Structure 1
Amino acid sequence: MNSEPKPVVTGYPAAAQPSYSGTAAAGPAYGSSYPYPATAPAYYPPPPPPPPGPYHDPNAVYGHRNSSSLFIRRLIIICISVFLIIAIVTFILWLVLRFRLPEVAVSAASVSSFNVSNSQQVTGNFNLTFMVRNRNQKMGIFYDRVQAAVFYGSDSISETSLPPFYQGKGNSTAVPARFAAVSAYVDPDVASSILKERSNGGVVNFHVRIMAWVRFRAGAWRTRRHVMRVYCDNVRIGFSNSTSLIGSLEGAPKTCRVDV
């Protein structure tokens, strides 16, 4: 007998051969192939979701724009309200006070050294007095930048500036004005018309214009400046004859038209 020990065989057991007899092949004996029980396969959980990105509130910009628009709307409403309040107060004051235009008349007029040359030049000194009456019993009147001129027809003969003045409530003021015409050129038709009027009855019709900035005042309240225009048409200056150098106002004081 062979007494040598049998070698130890290591490794996996041989696979069972399929049976052709219709019976299943016998499995390995318990404890001969897998000395330890089989472990369950390892389980790996799904990866965590990515962190959320930065959040942009879509209402943030809209809210800023909305607040700016609200501020602009409120500012516009305030401006309109202030304007309406001022307009209403001004209208009420106008209804209460309701200024009236002054009355202006040429109360006196004289001409000296008057001459019309053959070269259509007019020379003469005009001295006029305007009577200005403030018809307002509750307001005074400021007169600024007063300008006056003497015309014959549409041709200016002489111009002058008058000093500014203030007129109290219901007062009448005499305003003197002096005009000096020194060889003032006029249209040939104007020169011939002056000579014709002076020879036919000795009365020459001049026109006087006044322009001034006026403001009405009632206590501390003052109106804005208005441009006042005065039209004194057909101021009749009578000469004793066709060669006389001196003339004076004919008839009653000449009432003027006043516009603002």
Structure 2
Amino acid sequence: MATPYLPRASQPQPSYHSFYPGDQTTSNPSAYEIQQTQQTNNYITRVRRLILALFLLFAMIISVSMIAWLMLQPRVPIFRVDSLSVSNFTLNDSQLTADFGIKFTVRNPNKRIDLTLDDFKISVSHDRNKLAEKTWNHYVSMKKMSQNGMSIELGTNSSDNCPIKRKTAIGMSREFWSKRAVNLKVKMMVWAKFEAGDWLSKQKFVEVCCNNLEVGFFTSNVTGTLIDGSNDCFARLS
């Protein structure tokens, strides 16, 4: 009798493991690497917070300063020419020789702000033509609601006098002989510092223009004085 065929039970196949180093990868970093990453992230976060805090502090200081200046409402100093004298007046076709003496008053109209003036640049002109110009390094400190009188001379040095065009000389000569007077203008550019307390300050240039200063030569052909007395000037910040 033949023996029936019985299939062999399936045997589990053996598993083979590779022992090559490149066949296995490590997906979990070590504890040291995790700690280093956390420290770096914390440092970056602190730096960002510090930068943001400094920016907010700077913006707050600027905002407070702007609000304070708006509340204080700083006003432009007031200038007035008290006298303008001309001596040694000689006028040729294209050459003017003269000494100009200017006395003026400046007043600080601010009730809460001190004022400092420095580096005056002053010129005397006829129409739009400069006759003399001078830089005056004069320091003036003015308390609230105070005023100060000053005087300056131009033309005493040859470098003060400015060359003029022949057309200007002819026009001034006609004006002089027709009414024994010339119409002059005084302009100033002044460096000003406004101070409210020890921490709040602002620096600006003040542009001053004094128009229609009529100088009469009634007692002498070479000496003239301001006819209408003192004249107020126009001033603005620039």
User: Are the equivalent residues in 2 in contact too, given 1:215–1:222 (CA < 8 A)?
Assistant: no
Would you tell me which structure has more helix in proportion to its own residues? Answer: 2
* Residue 139 of structure 1, CA deviation: 1.4
In the other structure, the counterpart of 1:92 is 67
Establish whether residue 249 from structure 1 lines up as the match of residue 223 from structure 2: no
In the other structure, the counterpart of 1:9 is none
User: In structure 2, do the counterparts of structure 1 residues 153 and 69 end up closer, same or farther at CA, with 3 Å as the change threshold?
Assistant: farther
Which of residues 149, 159, 173 is equivalent to 2:123? Answer: 149
In the other structure, the counterpart of 1:211 is 189
Query: What secondary structure, in the 3-state scheme, does the structure 1 residue paired with 2:66 have?
Result: helix
User: Are the equivalent residues in 2 in contact too, given 1:105–1:254 (CA < 8 A)?
Assistant: yes
Query: What secondary structure, in the 3-state scheme, does the structure 2 residue paired with 1:87 have?
Result: helix
Query: What secondary structure, in the 3-state scheme, does the structure 1 residue paired with 2:175 have?
Result: helix
* Residue 196 of structure 1, CA deviation: 1.0
* Residue 69 of structure 1, CA deviation: 6.9
Moved more, 191-200 or 70-79: 70-79
Aligned-residue RMSD, C-alpha: 3.1
User: In structure 2, do the counterparts of structure 1 residues 222 and 177 end up closer, same or farther at CA, with 3 Å as the change threshold?
Assistant: farther
Deviations 1:165-203 (A, max 9, x none): 111111111111110164642011110111111111112
Which of residues 193, 210, 220 is equivalent to 1:232? Answer: 210
Query: What secondary structure, in the 3-state scheme, does the structure 1 residue paired with 2:98 have?
Result: strand
Establish whether residue 165 from structure 1 lines up as the match of residue 140 from structure 2: yes
User: Are the equivalent residues in 2 in contact too, given 1:123–1:184 (CA < 8 A)?
Assistant: no
User: In structure 2, do the counterparts of structure 1 residues 53 and 258 end up closer, same or farther at CA, with 3 Å as the change threshold?
Assistant: same
The letter of the residue matching 2:25 is G
Establish whether residue 191 from structure 1 lines up as the match of residue 169 from structure 2: yes
Establish whether residue 47 from structure 1 lines up as the match of residue 16 from structure 2: yes
* Residue 233 of structure 1, CA deviation: 1.4
* Residue 44 of structure 1, CA deviation: 7.6
In the other structure, the counterpart of 2:80 is 105
Give the structure, 1 or 2, with the largest relative contact order (CA under 8 Å, sep 6 or more): 2
- Alignment: residue pair count: 219
Which of residues 96, 115, 123 is equivalent to 2:97? Answer: 123
The letter of the residue matching 2:223 is I
In the other structure, the counterpart of 1:20 is none
Query: What secondary structure, in the 3-state scheme, does the structure 2 residue paired with 1:200 have?
Result: helix
* Residue 209 of structure 1, CA deviation: 1.0
Query: What secondary structure, in the 3-state scheme, does the structure 1 residue paired with 2:17 have?
Result: coil
* Residue 204 of structure 1, CA deviation: 0.6
Unmatched runs of 5 consecutive residues or more in structure 1: 1-22, 25-41
Provide the C-alpha distance between the structure 2 equivalents of 1:184 and 1:100, rounded to a whole number of angstroms. Answer: 33
* Residue 43 of structure 1, CA deviation: 8.5
Q: What is the TM-score when the length of structure 2 is the normalising length?
A: 0.79
User: Are the equivalent residues in 2 in contact too, given 1:143–1:215 (CA < 8 A)?
Assistant: yes
The letter of the residue matching 2:109 is R
Paired-residue identity, %: 24
Deviations 1:126-156 (A, max 9, x none): 0001110110121111112111111112222
In the other structure, the counterpart of 1:175 is 150
User: Are the equivalent residues in 2 in contact too, given 1:238–1:249 (CA < 8 A)?
Assistant: yes
Structure 1 segments of 4 or more deviating over 4 A?
Answer: 60-73
In the other structure, the counterpart of 2:58 is 83
Deviations 1:103-122 (A, max 9, x none): 1011111110011013x100
User: Are the equivalent residues in 1 in contact too, given 2:133–2:162 (CA < 8 A)?
Assistant: no
Deviations 1:22-47 (A, max 9, x none): x76xxxxxxxxxxxxxxxxx988322
Which of residues 83, 102, 112 is equivalent to 1:138? Answer: 112
Provide the C-alpha distance between the structure 2 equivalents of 1:152 and 1:56, rounded to a whole number of angstroms. Answer: 89
Unmatched runs of 5 consecutive residues or more in structure 2: 3-10
